[in-house]
Amino acid sequence: MINIGFMLNFPVEYKGGINYLKNLFYAIQQCKDTDVSVILFVPDDTDDEYVAIFSPYAKIIRTKILKRKSFPWLLSRIGEKYFGYDPLVHFLLKKNNISCISHSNYVCPDKKIKTINWIPDFQYLHLPDLWTAKQLSETSRLHKYLIEGSDKIVLSSFDAFNDFKTKYDKISKKVEVIHFVSQPVANQGGTSKPENKGYKTNDVPYFYLPNQFWTHKNHITAFKACEILINRGHKFQLITSGHMKDFRSNDDHIAQLVKYVKENNLDQVIKFLGLIPYTDVFELIKNAAALVNPSYFEGWSSTVEEAKSVGTLTLLSDIPVHKEQNPQGARFFDPDSPAELAQIMEDVLINKIPFFKASPKVLKEQLDNRTIIFGQKYIDLVKNLTSPANAERHS
């Protein structure tokens, strides 16, 4: 049995990380491979709601070692400083017969335990102005540590792989590109319309922009496109959701976005829902006229994958990774051109864009196929890495 260990060692508010792990575990389970077992180590004070998310797909082990500010956690930090690795985590992995530690921002000193790490993207190479000098230094140092110390690095796109090669071309053989797949939330309670959950759409078509409010997500282009369409007499709404905070922003761009909406009398057109349950995100995607993503940068857009999973039309900035994701019928626009986006949105509103939404049966078949590919590529990576022949080469 190959025991694959994962550590929930990041804030649970990082929903992208939670959803990524859940989708990976689900994909592994769907492959029905009895040779592998997933074990998730969580802080012993982790809320039951998060344990419930993962427990159908992984064995959950609570530990004080991952509980921030606890005595074992502090010992781990001291050990890390003096030994160059975390001796308590190492003991935890050996005690539970872990063959491979994965996606945990951790490098195991024991070469008998293989290490896989996931790097979501290299945004700081493209948009360094959005980062402080300290953030740039810390992120670059972490990536260097993970890349040089890990047996394998998982990237979510070939676009990210191109970035990787600009800095680490000599060790590019360490990389495995595995496109992740998003699952519609199980047990959503039917197919209720968004307005039945309290999100009023005023009986008009709506576009949905579910990006977090980071500066690079470029909401302003979508907002300006809405102003153009309102001036043309169209009736619709743009619904946004996501955490309305950007700790990297120096100019409080979120306040500027809200101000723009008010000053241009778009309050009844553009709606800010803030953070909402993930089940509701999927309902809003499923019932939208189209999903809009004007972002300047993505590692592998989870919102695009979510739209693919339920067959919703996507209107996307023409960045390389969006084209790599290649959703059916997608329309692309210059992220700096509100007029271009407005024209595409108008075409949607007047039914000028031919878009055939596949039947639920076909969508499920397509999703199942992508899910198996996702899970199998990861399982193959782990099996090749932990095979006796590979172990001998790296011992």
Task: Give the count of domains, the chain.
Answer: 2
- Residue 143 inside a domain? The answer is yes
Same domain flag for 338 and 390: no
Q: What is the largest CA-CA distance in the chain?
A: 70
pLDDT, mean over the chain: 91
Q: Encode pLDDT of 348-365 as tens digits.
A: 999 888 777 888 899 999
Nearest residue to 239 via CA among 173, 179, 289, 311: 289
pLDDT of residue 110: 86
Nearest residue to 179 via CA among 368, 362, 370, 363: 370
Copy the structure tokens of residue 194.
């968004």
- Residue 362 inside a domain? The answer is no
> What is the rounded CA–CA span in Å between residue 313 and residue 329?
7
Check whether 147 has a pLDDT greater than 90.
yes
> What is the rounded CA–CA span in Å between residue 195 and residue 20?
28
Sequence-distant (≥ 6) Cβ neighbours of residue 98 within 8 angstroms: 3, 4, 5, 39, 113
- Residue 358 inside a domain? The answer is no
> What is the rounded CA–CA span in Å between residue 311 and residue 359?
9
Q: Which of 11-20, 94-103, 207-216, 361-370 has the lowest mean pLDDT?
A: 11-20
> What is the rounded CA–CA span in Å between residue 174 and residue 171?
6
Same domain flag for 289 and 152: no
> What is the rounded CA–CA span in Å between residue 94 and residue 394?
18
Phi, psi of 92 (to 5 degrees): -60, -45
pLDDT of residue 249: 66
pLDDT of residue 203: 82
Same domain flag for 8 and 69: yes
- What is the pTM assigned to this prediction? 0.89
Same domain flag for 168 and 237: no
Same domain flag for 305 and 380: no
Give the residue-averaged pLDDT of 318-341: 97
- Pick the more confident residue, 76 or 341: 341
Give the residue-averaged pLDDT of 214-225: 96
Check whether 26 has a pLDDT greater than 60.
yes
β-strand partners of 59: 39
pLDDT of residue 189: 38
pLDDT band, very low/low/confident/very high, at 70 (cuts 50, 70, 90): very high
Domain with 78 in it: 2-183+370-394
- Residue 245 inside a domain? The answer is yes
Give the residue-averaged pLDDT of 24-50: 97
Q: Encode pLDDT of 237-261 as tens digits.
A: 999 998 888 777 666 889 999 999 9
Same domain flag for 211 and 330: yes
pLDDT of residue 201: 67
pLDDT of residue 39: 99
pLDDT of residue 250: 62
pLDDT band, very low/low/confident/very high, at 305 (cuts 50, 70, 90): very high
Same domain flag for 217 and 276: yes
Copy the structure tokens of residue 313.
């039309």
**What one-character-per-residue DSSP string does 277-341 give?**
-HHHHHHHHHHSSEEEE--S--SS-HHHHHHHHHT--EEEE--HHHHHH--TT-EEE-TT-HHHH
Check whether 196 has a pLDDT greater than 50.
no
Check whether 11 has a pLDDT greater than 70.
yes
DSSP state of 185: P
Same domain flag for 279 and 382: no
- Residue 360 inside a domain? The answer is no
Same domain flag for 50 and 176: yes
Question: What strands, in cross-sheet order, belong to the sheet with 100-102?
Answer: 59-63, 36-43, 2-7, 100-102, 114-118, 152-155, 175-177
> What is the rounded CA–CA span in Å between residue 228 and residue 344?
12
pLDDT of residue 61: 98
Copy the structure tokens of residue 191.
């197919």
- Residue 223 inside a domain? The answer is yes
pLDDT band, very low/low/confident/very high, at 197 (cuts 50, 70, 90): low
Using CB atoms within 10 Å of the CB of residue 259, give its burial: 0 to 12 exposed, 13 to 18 middle, 19+ buried: exposed
Same domain flag for 15 and 127: yes
> What is the rounded CA–CA span in Å between residue 229 and residue 8?
44
Same domain flag for 324 and 381: no
- Residue 363 inside a domain? The answer is no
Q: Encode pLDDT of 43-60 as tens digits.
A: 999 999 999 999 999 999
- Could you count the other beta carbons within 10 Å of the beta carbon of residue 40? 24
- Could you count the other beta carbons within 10 Å of the beta carbon of residue 71? 10
> What is the rounded CA–CA span in Å between residue 360 and residue 357?
9
β 206-209/237-240 pair status: parallel
**What one-character-per-residue DSSP string does 142-180 give?**
HHHHHHHH-SEEEES-HHHHHHHHHHHGGGGGGEEE---
pLDDT of residue 192: 44
- Residue 164 inside a domain? The answer is yes
Q: What's the CATH code of the domain at 267? A: 3.40.50.2000
> What is the rounded CA–CA span in Å between residue 145 and residue 136?
14
Check whether 188 has a pLDDT greater than 70.
no
Q: Encode pLDDT of 81-117 as tens digits.
A: 888 788 899 999 999 999 999 999 999 988 899 999 9
Give the residue-averaged pLDDT of 291-315: 95
Give the residue-averaged pLDDT of 177-194: 68
pLDDT of residue 200: 64
Same domain flag for 310 and 376: no
